[in-house]
């Protein structure tokens, strides 16, 4: 029996067809699947249905991550595969879902070929990877591995004032139970996450699938600029304390400092109070996403930027406070696993990334690796995110090959790797 060719990926089209409508916004052409909202719950129900159809046992862990188990009764620590189904606001179809869909499709391929694992296999759907609603990315995997304090997580609040605890409770998930889960971690041996590439490195080398080497350190900071609300038509310019000016200056400074440090800095979200066209704002909250090749550079970037913003706040009569909301250190994926996967996949190219992933969070506890699937435009976190179906099929095939080698005997497939 042989693994079918990449063109034959049973069920892949059907998996996509059933998932694509969930959380799709016709006005923007993007997805609005935010942790525990209606669209996210529909995706979670989809995950359960796909797993159940395949005779897998579905369990939701204490932190809301979903796990679909194959051959759970086998001895040994499981090979986990999967990704996430939530999205950024108006995100694309592939960031996250490609990994989950490919995991089910890879399992279908292996089973069609009659392959059997010799240790358990689990497909994961990690909760709240993007942090779009409550602000902390990878909340599910951070809680699982003890990298986010349960009290802090429960108190996270969305823009309507709903806490994560309340949102979980409304979805039938007990918020009192969240926190590190040693029992589950003890059952996991490795995690391999397939993901759309968020860049164009694979286009440049002309390959459909690559293997990740590392993730840049990154974090999120809330800049709170305070001023004085006043009438836009009657307040003289010299009498104003306008925090929007300080914010505007800080955005430009972030770009300059990022350039100078060889780093990345993005203000992608703000909230303004009172948010009236004819009033000087009393407050501007702005969230900075900062990323750099190493932690010292990231720290230096933030220190420089904060100093510039404070100096400007002084000139504007504004106040400034800066709160770090999350910080992820540099991640080096497991070298042995990375090299093994690259070799298995015909010397697949290895590449670093600036994007965060649950595989990065889990790497603190178990060996993890990532497979990237070519993205022709390199665009991600946008409705324009895209992958060719032929490359998605190549990704499924690569994942199936990886699973067959890591969790059993690839010789069962009669293929010489």
137 binds ligand GLV (CB under 6 A): yes
Q: Which does 137 bind (CB under 5 to 8 A by kind): ligand GLV, Mn ion, none?
A: ligand GLV
136 binds ligand GLV (CB under 6 A): no
Closer CB to ligand GLV, 62 or 291, in the complex? 291
Q: Which does 356 bind (CB under 5 to 8 A by kind): ligand GLV, Mn ion, none?
A: ligand GLV
Identify which of 224, 209, 236, 233 has the alpha carbon closest to the alpha carbon of residue 350: 209
211 binds ligand GLV (CB under 6 A): no
User: What residues does 211 pair with on adjacent strands?
Assistant: 350, 371
355 binds ligand GLV (CB under 6 A): yes
Q: Residue ranges of the alpha helices (H) in 178-282?
A: 182-185, 201-205, 243-261
Q: Which does 15 bind (CB under 5 to 8 A by kind): ligand GLV, Mn ion, none?
A: none
- Closest distance between Mn ion and the C-beta of residue 372, in Å? 11
User: How many residues in the shown chain lie near Mn ion by CB under 5 A?
Assistant: 2
- Closest distance between Mn ion and the C-beta of residue 212, in Å? 12
- Closest distance between ligand GLV and the C-beta of residue 301, in Å? 17
Assess contact for 369 and 211: CB atoms under 8 A: yes
399 binds ligand GLV (CB under 6 A): no
- Closest distance between ligand GLV and the C-beta of residue 21, in Å? 22
- Closest distance between ligand GLV and the C-beta of residue 215, in Å? 8
Contacts with Mn ion, 93-112, as mask; x by CB under 5 A? --xx----------------
Q: Which does 96 bind (CB under 5 to 8 A by kind): Mn ion, ligand GLV, none?
A: Mn ion
Q: Would you mind telling me the total number of residues written for the chain in this entry? A: 417
Q: Which does 120 bind (CB under 5 to 8 A by kind): Mn ion, ligand GLV, none?
A: none
Q: Where are the beta strands (DSSP E) in 43-186?
A: 57-60, 66-70, 78-84, 121-126
**356, 360, 395, 410: which one binds ligand GLV (CB under 6 A):** 356
- Closest distance between ligand GLV and the C-beta of residue 180, in Å? 22
d(CA 21, CA 99): 17
Closer CB to Mn ion, 40 or 95, in the complex? 95
- Closest distance between Mn ion and the C-beta of residue 244, in Å? 29
Q: Which does 165 bind (CB under 5 to 8 A by kind): ligand GLV, Mn ion, none?
A: none
Q: Which does 124 bind (CB under 5 to 8 A by kind): ligand GLV, Mn ion, none?
A: none
Q: Exposed, middle or buried, 27 (CB in 10 Å: 0-12/13-18/19+)?
A: exposed
Q: Structure tokens of 17?
A: 């067809």
Assess contact for 320 and 312: CB atoms under 8 A: no
User: What phi and psi, each to the nearest 5 degrees, are found at residue 159?
Assistant: -75, -10
d(CA 218, CA 63): 23
b/e 394-416 (16+ beta carbons within 10 angstroms → b): bbbbbbbbbbbbbbbebebbeee
Q: Structure tokens of 384?
A: 């324009």
Q: Site residues for Mn ion, window 76-95 (CB under 5 A)?
A: 95
196 binds ligand GLV (CB under 6 A): no
d(CA 247, CA 224): 9
Assess contact for 213 and 351: CB atoms under 8 A: yes
Q: Structure tokens of 144?
A: 């699982």
Closer CB to ligand GLV, 140 or 356, in the complex? 356
What is the Cα gyration radius of the chain?
23
User: How many residues in the shown chain lie near ligand GLV by CB under 6 A?
Assistant: 4
d(CA 314, CA 332): 41
56 binds ligand GLV (CB under 6 A): no
Give me the residues that bind ligand GLV (CB under 6 A), please.
130, 137, 355-356
Give me the residues that bind Mn ion (CB under 5 A), please.
95-96
């Amino acid at each position: 029996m042989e693994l079918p060719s990449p063109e034959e990926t049973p069920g892949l089209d059907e998996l996509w067809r059933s998932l694509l409508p969930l959380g799709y916004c016709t006005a923007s052409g993007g997805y609005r699947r935010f942790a525990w909202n209606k669209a996210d719950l529909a995706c979670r129900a989809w995950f359960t249905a796909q797993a159940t159809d395949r005779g897998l046992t579905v369990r939701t862990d204490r932190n809301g991550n979903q796990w679909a188990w194959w051959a759970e009764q086998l001895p040994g620590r499981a090979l986990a595969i999967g990704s996430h189904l939530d999205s950024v606001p108006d995100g694309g179809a592939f960031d996250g879902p490609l990994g989950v869909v490919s995991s089910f499709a890879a399992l279908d391929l292996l089973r069609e070929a009659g392959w059997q694992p010799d240790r358990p296999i689990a497909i994961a759907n990690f909760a709240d990877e993007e942090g779009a609603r409550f602000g902390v990315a990878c909340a599910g995997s951070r809680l699982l591995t003890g990298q986010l304090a349960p009290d802090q997580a429960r108190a996270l609040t969305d823009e309507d004032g709903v806490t994560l605890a309340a949102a979980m409770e409304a979805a039938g998930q007990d918020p009192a139970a969240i926190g590190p889960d040693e029992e589950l971690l003890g059952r996991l041996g490795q995690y391999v996450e397939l993901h759309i590439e968020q860049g164009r490195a694979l286009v440049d080398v002309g390959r459909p699938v690559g293997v990740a080497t590392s993730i840049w350190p990154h974090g999120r900071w809330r800049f709170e600029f305070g001023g004085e609300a006043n009438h836009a038509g009657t307040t003289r310019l010299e009498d104003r304390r306008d925090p929007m000016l300080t914010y505007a200056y800080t955005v430009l400074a972030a770009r300059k400092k990022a350039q100078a440090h060889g780093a990345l800095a993005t203000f992608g979200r703000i909230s303004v109070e009172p948010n009236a066209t004819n009033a000087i704002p009393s407050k501007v909250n702005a969230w900075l996403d900062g990323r750099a090749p190493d932690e010292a550079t990231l720290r230096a970037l933030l220190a420089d930027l904060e100093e510039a913003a404070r100096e400007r706040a002084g000139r504007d009569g504004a106040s400034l406070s800066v709160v770090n909301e999350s910080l992820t250190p540099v991640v080096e994926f497991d070298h042995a696993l990375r090299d093994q996967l690259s070799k298995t996949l015909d010397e697949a190219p290895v590449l670093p990334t600036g994007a965060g992933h649950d595989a990065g969070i889990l790497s603190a506890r178990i060996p993890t690796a990532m497979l990237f699937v070519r993205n022709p435009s390199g665009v991600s976190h946008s409705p324009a995110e895209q992958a060719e179906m032929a490359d998605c099929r190549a990704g499924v095939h690569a994942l199936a090959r990886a699973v067959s080698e890591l969790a059993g005997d690839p010789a069962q497939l009669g293929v010489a790797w």
